[in-house]
Amino acid sequence: MEQSVIRFKKLVQKRKHFELGPVNLDIPRGYVTAIVGPNGSGKSSLLRLLLDISKPDSGQIEVLGERVGSGNDQLLKERIGYVPEQSNEIDDHMTADRKAEFIRKWYPQWDITLYRELLRRFDVETDLKLGKMSKGMRRKFDLAIAMAHQPQLLLLDEPSSGLDPIAWKTMIDVLHRYMERGERTILMASHIVDEVRRLADYIVFMVHGRMLGLYEKDTLLESWYVLYLDGGSQERHGVNWKSVPGFCSMEHTGGTTVKITTSEAREAEEWCAAQQVHIVGRQKLELDDILVLLTERERLRMQT
């Protein structure tokens, strides 16, 4: 694993109806990591803990080498850009430029040229009050504000929420460009498969407040497959399909063909070769299908 930019150590936060953690995880520096998980799995809660907006019950978080909540918060926040899931309504009476004037005082690295360039690219009307902006325009403004002080770490909570397809493409391009310079890191929570596919290097799955590991995206997508197997003679010899490496599910699809879903495609194919099972077809799983299967696996694990 590369050098880490964020470290969660035995992090736990207990709510009345929800428990987050324990989370033990290192987020690599210099990459885009996406937290992917169903509604209510704890993605936003985790980002708020990172920014010390809410407190854990136990455990620790280190961000950019500093312990969160240790008193260096302002210095730390200067190095971080954050786009929350929902914009702050307190700012609704301000125009874009007034808000920018207001917050730039806290950021020595604030780059007015970059700010103007981002607003131009996102087509944001600078003299409009924030409360009068459309949802998408407000989102674009929030992104520009989060990036204008050139943070080393960007935390994005559902960044494309409300964006039209053109604005979405601009955002993807802007984020790619952000990553081109230096050792920068993005940690984002997202539901959008296409966004994760285009941006993320690593993926963290989160289900019911639990982290299901950090996966390198390309490796993950190469591991989860549906294999269509000719099960004719094997069915007669009583082969146990559950012994296929990475076995997730099995279905008869008509005739002698058996559909097996596996999380270990390469090993499963080697198993087929050893068992002389003919592979009739193969199909990659998409991220959302993988999430559904992991969620179901976690639900079953919690029941036992």
Ligand X SMILES: Nc1ncnc2c1ncn2[C@@H]1O[C@H](COP(=O)(O)OP(=O)(O)OP(=O)(O)O)[C@@H](O)[C@H]1O
Is residue 261 near ligand X by the rule CB under 6 A? no
User: Which candidate, 224, 227, 214, 149, places its Cα nearest to that of 187?
Assistant: 214
Whole-Å CA distances, 248 to 134, 191, 230, 241, 274:
44, 23, 18, 10, 20
Q: Which is nearer to ligand X, 44 or 261 (CB)?
A: 44
CA distance 291 to 203: 11
Annotate each residue in 32-51 with x if it binds ligand X (CB under 6 A) or - if it does not, as one string: -----x-xxxxxxx------
Alpha-carbon gap, residue 151 to 185, rounded angstroms: 9
- Expressed in angstroms, the distance from the first to the final Cα of the chain is 32
Which residues, 185 to 204, sit near ligand X by CB under 6 A? 189
> Cβ closer to ligand X: 170 or 190?
190
Q: Which stretch binds ligand X (CB under 6 A): 11-19, 251-259, 278-286, 294-302?
A: 11-19
Tokens representing 203?
A: 């993926």
What whole-number distance in Å separates Cα of residue 100 and Cα of residue 87?
A: 14
- Cβ closer to ligand X: 86 or 134? 86
Reduce the DSSP state of residue 101 to 3 states and report it: helix
For 4, the token pair is 């880490």
Residue 202: CB minimum distance to ligand X, A: 18
Q: How far is the CB of 47 from ligand X (least distance, A)?
A: 8
The verdict on 213 binding ligand X (CB under 6 A) reads: no
In this complex, which beta carbon is closest to ligand X, that of residue 40 or of residue 131? 40
- Is residue 18 within the footprint of ligand X (CB under 6 A)? yes
Q: Is 15 in the site for ligand X (CB under 6 A)?
A: yes
Q: Residue with structure tokens 């325009």?
A: 137
Residues 67-106 that bind ligand X (CB under 6 A): 85
Decide if residue 13 touches ligand X (CB under 6 A). no
Cβ atoms within 10 Å of 35's Cβ, excluding its own: 26
In the complex, least distance from residue 209 CB atom to ligand X, rounded to whole angstroms: 7
In the complex, minimum distance from the CB of residue 93 to ligand X, in angstroms, rounded to a whole number? 25
**C-beta of 37 vs 81, nearer to ligand X:** 37
The nearer residue to ligand X, 56 or 231, going by C-beta atoms, is: 56
Which residues, in sequence order, are CB contacts of 277 under 8 Å at separation 6+?
Answer: 229, 230, 231, 234, 239, 271
**Binding residues with ligand X: total (CB under 6 A):** 13
Q: Applying CB under 6 A, does 159 fall inside the site for ligand X?
A: no
Report if residue 160 touches ligand X, rule: CB under 6 A. Answer: no
Structure tokens at 213: 């590991």
State residue 218 phi and psi, 5-degree precision: -65, -40
By beta-carbon proximity to ligand X, the closer residue of 44 and 223 is 44
Q: Measured from the CB of residue 48, what is the shortest distance to ligand X in angstroms?
A: 8
Q: For the chain, how many helices (H) and strands (E)? A: 11, 14
Contacts (Cβ under 8 Å, ≥6 apart) of 119: 96, 126, 140, 141, 144
C-beta closer to ligand X: residue 156 or 268: 156
Q: Min. distance of Cβ 17 from ligand X in angstroms?
A: 6
Chain contacts with ligand X (rule: CB under 6 A) = 15, 17-18, 37, 39-45, 85, 189
